[in-house]
Structure 1
Amino acid sequence: MIYPIQFIFLPDQLTQFESIISKSYGIILLTGPTGSGKTTTLYAALNRVNSKDKNIITVEDPVEYKLDRI
């Protein structure tokens, strides 16, 4: 299940994170130990920014969810 991004962050954190993921340039690295929420955060963010006018690439092993256009 891919959670909405609003379920992951507190309101102030959500505003900051959405500002970061909405940029049209740059790289975002999600790192952390097993069970820390990397996959949940990644897919919530991808689901939020995914659109036809964006080219999004992920490097994952294994790929846990298949999203259209990614």
Structure 2
Amino acid sequence: MLAPVIRLEPRWYYNLDKRVSKSRSISGNAGNFLALQTSYHPNWFTISNYDNVEVVNQVSIIPTWGYKEKHR
């Protein structure tokens, strides 16, 4: 099944000053972050091999912690 999704993930990088003071790179927002991954699954259309498949409108908000690293 294929269905549309709209996703938004604002991030807060909380240790950029500390990384700069240790002469580490912050280009490309490299560092630790907190985020709220927000997804919306609308019931606009679905593509499926089966008949009468419906998607329920759904919103999800997931708190996330991560580390982004710049790849060379």
**Could you say whether these structures have the same fold, taking a TM-score greater than 0.5 normalized by the shorter chain as the test?**
no
Please give the TM-score of this superposition, normalised by the length of structure 2: 0.19
Q: Structure 1 or 2: larger strand share?
A: 2
Please give the TM-score of this superposition, normalised by the length of structure 1: 0.20
Q: Structure 1 or 2: larger helix share?
A: 1
